[in-house]
Amino acid sequence: MDLVYVAYNSEKWIAPCFSALQKSSYERKKLNVFVVDNGSTDRTVEMLYQVKKEWENRAGKFEIIEAKKNLGFGKANNLGFAKGTSDLVCFFNIDTEIFPTALSEIESAAEHSGEAVAMWELRQFPYEHPKLYDPVTMETSWCSGAAFAIRRKVYQQAGGFDEKIFLYAEDVDLSWRVRSLGYGIQYVPKAMILHHSYEEAGKVKPNQHVYGVIHNLLLRYRFGTVYDILKGHLQFWSLMGIPEAFPHSKRMLLKEYLKHFGKAPHFWSSKARGKKNGFSPQFYGWDYSSVREGGYYRNELPSETPKVSVLVRTCGRPCVLRETLISLRNQTYPNLEVVVVEDGENVSEKMIREEFSDLNLVYLSTGRRVGRSKAGNMAMERASGTYLNFLDDDDLFYADHVEVLVSRLLKEKNRAAYAFGFETPIEVISREPYQYVVKHYNGVHKQEFDKITLCHHNYIPIQTILFEKSLFQEYGGLDENLDALEDWDLWVRYSLYTDFTCVPKTTSLYRVPYDRKENARRQKTLDEALITVREKQRAYVQKISVYDIAAMYEKRNSFWPH
């Protein structure tokens, strides 16, 4: 495996970067490291030679390429790439530190992906890149240049990084050229790096702001439609009408905007016109993908890993259930128990036994239909985890859902924590095999915990919340007389005894019908259940102090960052 780094006045990153690499579980003799120095004026080169001396006779190769000037990110990476010969090449920013198993996880992903996939992105820590990915296939739209791997032959086929892009968006451009060749790109959350990307969350980087905008325009010439190009220019001029992102940002933007017209012919002449190999790029404002909430949420690994039981209710639709179980297989949290309760005959058992023997899985069927709430209670009774989390068979977790919530609960006095979840209207094409089209990714419920609001309506989708099993043991489970809104009734009852911690990050998704008639039938069921639940709530007494009411008032009348 070849590893390529680019350094520029990077002396403070050299020691932590290569110290972490030395702790890698990957066999060092199989590693070839190429570091391109972009004309540093500090002690970067001196420190690199010290590292090289330490690596002698312990690594496959450690080569330093000294450029006389700053070649830019793309050209320097191309130079480092040209020095190697391995089939798999990893590119890392110099301000990253790999976790011990990261390289092994990437190699495993490459071996199991098949030739149709050519690029793999590692997960950045503590700030995960928030772009969208498929929690089942792990497919994503592009790879961040901070940490990714690619097949050598595909990098060559795509022509490497475009050296006309000096700062920012080089990674999107390369990713989209790879996709236009017909290859897929995957996210590998179990392959982790520490990336020192922000000194503080949300801090605006002047170069990123300016060149991010300008190179977005250039990518529209290469990959976009005429509409995309015109919209990009309208977006640019709209920036001139709003407050500056930082002092003199508008002056810098205008200067680079005028210069970008000189580069436009290069991008237009290599335009990927129309859909190519099924690839249809999308521009989302200045982004290149829909994004999940939580780009500036500071992730932490849990200090310990108590068992978590994920409770899956299903009813005779193994093709749907399969995707849910795959999303559980993709979880980064190591201590999971999956409890599947099938409401009715054991239609899904054969598929589960044959395809998911790698999961710590408990399966039972009710034999006859007993309803959603009874099935849920049976799952809670059989679960042996310290924490419980529902995940119905048409919902999905993103890879770090359990990890994120356990990490927060271990630090909190609260006994339940929830994150945000996408509502995804889907149009079902086929039930078997299960094929569908996701129409939207809607961030509907993004509400900080508030007991008063929760008493009025449910804003905590069932799959978003992780809670102590002791709540079930002490205060009971789902009301088996309810076949809708049973989760809301449960959350309201549990909120009588504990507050819930809100984690402002999207970690799951749930599906709703796209069809209007089906949606109307669903809403009618919910409306009917609401009458029953409201009547039940007459008996619930919520104890709350005047102090807490005042605190809620303060929150409601002040800005709460999402």
Mean pLDDT, the chain, integer: 92
- What is the pLDDT averaged over residues 294-316? 96
All residues at 6 or more sequence positions from 265 whose CB lies less than 8 Å from its CB, including other chains: none
Nearest to 332, CA basis, from 412, 418, 422, 407? 407
- Burial of 49: CB neighbours in 10 Å, binned 0-12, 13-18, 19+: exposed
Segment 221-243, tens digit of pLDDT: 999 999 999 999 999 999 999 99
- What is the b/e burial string over 175-214, where b = at least 16 CB atoms within 10 angstroms of the residue's CB? bbbbbbeebbbbbbbbbbbbbbbeeeeeeeeeeebbbbbb
- What is the pLDDT averaged over residues 273-281? 70
- The pLDDT score that the predictor gives to residue 201 is 60
- The pLDDT score that the predictor gives to residue 558 is 64
- The pLDDT score that the predictor gives to residue 140 is 96
How many Å apart are CA 560 and CA 287, to the nearest integer?
24
- What is the pLDDT averaged over residues 519-544? 85
- The pLDDT score that the predictor gives to residue 561 is 47
- The pLDDT score that the predictor gives to residue 200 is 63
- Give me the percent of the chain exceeding a pLDDT of 90: 79
Least confident range from 178-187, 406-415, 446-455, 485-494: namely 446-455
Least confident range from 40-49, 127-136, 438-447, 534-543: namely 534-543
- Give me the percent of the chain exceeding a pLDDT of 70: 97
Structure tokens at 158: 């795509």
Q: Quick check: 19 pLDDT over 70?
A: yes
- The pLDDT score that the predictor gives to residue 562 is 43
Q: Quick check: 178 pLDDT over 70?
A: yes
Give 344 or 280, the one with higher predicted confidence: 344
Segment 97-156, tens digit of pLDDT: 999 999 999 999 999 998 999 999 999 999 999 999 999 999 999 999 999 999 999 999
- The pLDDT score that the predictor gives to residue 319 is 95
**Eight-state DSSP code of residue 203:** P
How many Å apart are CA 337 and CA 331, to the nearest integer?
11
- The pLDDT score that the predictor gives to residue 424 is 95
Q: Quick check: 378 pLDDT over 50?
A: yes
Structure tokens at 150: 């690619």
- What is the pLDDT averaged over residues 544-560? 73
Q: Could you tell me if 466 and 402 are in contact, meaning their C-beta atoms sit under 8 angstroms apart? A: yes
- The pLDDT score that the predictor gives to residue 208 is 85
Q: Quick check: 488 pLDDT over 60?
A: yes
Least confident range from 78-82, 167-171, 220-224: namely 167-171
- The pLDDT score that the predictor gives to residue 526 is 87
Give 562 or 170, the one with higher predicted confidence: 170
- The pLDDT score that the predictor gives to residue 468 is 98
- What is the pLDDT averaged over residues 322-339? 98
- What is the pLDDT averaged over residues 266-271? 86
CB atoms near residue 88 (< 10 Å): 18
- The pLDDT score that the predictor gives to residue 555 is 74
Least confident range from 12-16, 196-200, 226-230, 459-463: namely 196-200
- The pLDDT score that the predictor gives to residue 202 is 56
Q: Quick check: 204 pLDDT over 80?
A: no
- What is the pLDDT averaged over residues 504-531? 89
Confidence grade of residue 540 (pLDDT, cut at 50, 70, 90): confident
